[in-house]
Structure 1
């Protein structure tokens, strides 16, 4: 009889290089399954078309997913000009075709319009939810909703390549930016149409796809198939996880005593008697033990999020 493995209270961060052809949720469920994790979450959806950085948080680390979701991102996108599709990517139906008749200078002039604060309407073929249902499900049912414009910020936009009917861009943007929408809007402004044919996320906050701790699905699969021992699998898989505080490694540290932490747990107002507060969000530690994060205002801890470790 096959032994049933109970789900585990496993905590940590997996920096995954998502492959093309899978939804972010499918990858998440696979990671949750092989780790037998009770809880797991990712830090920002990537389309099946896209590859690149997809941090997966397990256990108590999921408390801090919003920190990365709300961070800046960087992408490399390749687009085809002269063809507009209904999904703004290569998987859609071509709804407009037109010859390209502009110079590289004209292209750069139009691209400059996308820098700074811009407003965009997300494509109907996106994972944004309306009344609890993803927009792409409405689109597939032939329902077109009126969507409000969303303000996002494009910090940098660099043209890496332009030849024939293809361009490659490097984009540094704020949270909530839809790269497909940028390309679709670019095609409209160039009056020729455009759609995404390749997209790769290369950075989220302070995490880069070049990080030495990046893991691929192939690495995970090889670990599993080369061992029939489930406990050995867990041992090997767990070594790939980064500690919870790694997700917040760009925040300053604050050492607190156990008494301070207990006062927070019991809802008491806590004052920090130090004069070097330079940031309003800190990682909390007791010696070397990461305990969570807190927000400080006028030397008082006004908001906090603590780790609840379980064996």
Structure 2
């Protein structure tokens, strides 16, 4: 096999992650297809899960943390009557219980405490780190684990389908929320236990109506139409910043910002602003204090000095 010659490449890929591989495995497969020197993903999806996994290449990796903290939506299939050690169908069954008759009133009573700002215990098989090591690594060694509780936000959770002992749930939540934990806790509230049988991420802000690409589609494009067609699947960095306040600089201001200088202007205070140059290209991220002083936080270095396009609407 010939050695891949990687290249400088900036952009965001909205990948439709397949079931059965980790987020990092999906990232590495896509990175090899694009021959991207640098890449990162924006929050892990379990191997069981499918759906939107935004991948950042090159300078776009500088906004991966912003996307990681964004609001997200999922469809989940919950199987009632069995709990597993992973809280999903990939794990070993720990306990089986009969599923009682559950009417709409009882179901809503069990769902209500799972909405809003809640305390949630992470699954023991999760990427959450404890003592610098992921919990799943400790669990695989058979260590006794006390999974931590933390506060998360669940904007919405509802039942969109029901068939025998299976519920289909629609969940909208903030960063750090485990849908597996929501399903586990719902099962306990119903008195029978539950685990996730299928999970699909629908969107991640600002990509609320995403055009996603599968690895198979990308492979076919690369083989049949070439690298230019593959690159056309990428969104510019600007697409990932559409939800943040925008600040425009003239040519002199852009030059000074590029040198790391702070600038004062008639700007509203904000912890994170997307700073654009005179041609509409995003220059970087900054912070504006109460006095209107802009401090550069993270600047983008474009390949070949490309000014970039006008900021597009999120896709």
Indicate the residue corresponding to 2:217 in structure 1. 219
Could you tell me the TM-score, scaled by structure 1's length? 0.91
Indicate the residue corresponding to 1:292 in structure 2. 284
Q: Which string of whole-angstrom CA distances, capped at 9 and with x for unpartnered residues, describes residues 262-285 of structure 1? A: 33344433101x26x385533222
Q: Distance in 1 between matches of 2:4 and 2:147?
A: 45
Q: CA deviation at 1:51?
A: 0.6
Q: CA deviation at 1:186?
A: 1.4
Q: CA deviation at 1:174?
A: 1.0
Indicate the residue corresponding to 2:60 in structure 1. 61
Q: CA deviation at 1:5?
A: 4.9
Q: Which string of whole-angstrom CA distances, capped at 9 and with x for unpartnered residues, describes residues 103-126 of structure 1? A: 222121111111111111111111
Moved more, 258-267 or 67-76: 258-267
Gap regions ≥5 residues in structure 2:
305-315
Indicate the residue corresponding to 1:134 in structure 2. 134
Could you tell me the TM-score, scaled by structure 2's length? 0.90
> Are residues 10 and 99 of structure 1, via their aligned partners in 2, closer, same or farther at CA, if it must alter by over 3 Å?
same
Q: Distance in 1 between matches of 2:261 and 2:276?
A: 18
Q: CA deviation at 1:139?
A: 0.9
> Are residues 97 and 109 of structure 1, via their aligned partners in 2, closer, same or farther at CA, if it must alter by over 3 Å?
same
RMSD: 1.9
* SS of residue in 1 equivalent to 2:107: helix
Task: Please say if residues 70 and 175 of structure 1, whose CA atoms lie closer than 8 Å, have aligned partners that are also in contact.
Answer: yes
Task: Please say if residues 9 and 37 of structure 2, whose CA atoms lie closer than 8 Å, have aligned partners that are also in contact.
Answer: yes
Indicate the residue corresponding to 1:18 in structure 2. 17
> Are residues 219 and 107 of structure 1, via their aligned partners in 2, closer, same or farther at CA, if it must alter by over 3 Å?
same
Moved more, 160-169 or 77-86: 160-169
Aligned residue pairs total 301
Indicate the residue corresponding to 1:230 in structure 2. none
- Matches of residues 223-242 of structure 1 in structure 2 within 5 Å? 223-226=221-224, 233-242=226-235
* SS of residue in 1 equivalent to 2:283: strand
Indicate the residue corresponding to 1:302 in structure 2. 295
Q: CA deviation at 1:296?
A: 1.2
* SS of residue in 2 equivalent to 1:159: strand
Q: Distance in 2 between matches of 1:132 and 1:278?
A: 35
Indicate the residue corresponding to 1:187 in structure 2. 187
Matched, 1:252 2:245: yes
Poorly superposed stretches of 4+, deviation over 4 Å: 2-5
Q: Which string of whole-angstrom CA distances, capped at 9 and with x for unpartnered residues, describes residues 175-198 of structure 1? A: 000010111111122221100001
* SS of residue in 1 equivalent to 2:243: coil
- Matches of residues 277-288 of structure 1 in structure 2 within 5 Å? 277=268, 281-286=272-277, 287-288=279-280
Indicate the residue corresponding to 2:308 in structure 1. none
- Matches of residues 1-311 of structure 1 in structure 2 within 5 Å? 5-104=4-103, 105-208=105-208, 210-211=209-210, 213-226=211-224, 233-272=226-265, 274=266, 277=268, 281-286=272-277, 287-298=279-290, 299-311=292-304
Q: Distance in 1 between matches of 2:145 and 2:10?
A: 39
Gap regions ≥5 residues in structure 1:
228-232
Task: Please say if residues 71 and 204 of structure 1, whose CA atoms lie closer than 8 Å, have aligned partners that are also in contact.
Answer: yes
Q: Distance in 2 between matches of 1:131 and 1:6?
A: 37
Task: Please say if residues 124 and 144 of structure 1, whose CA atoms lie closer than 8 Å, have aligned partners that are also in contact.
Answer: no
* SS of residue in 1 equivalent to 2:114: coil
> Are residues 60 and 98 of structure 1, via their aligned partners in 2, closer, same or farther at CA, if it must alter by over 3 Å?
same
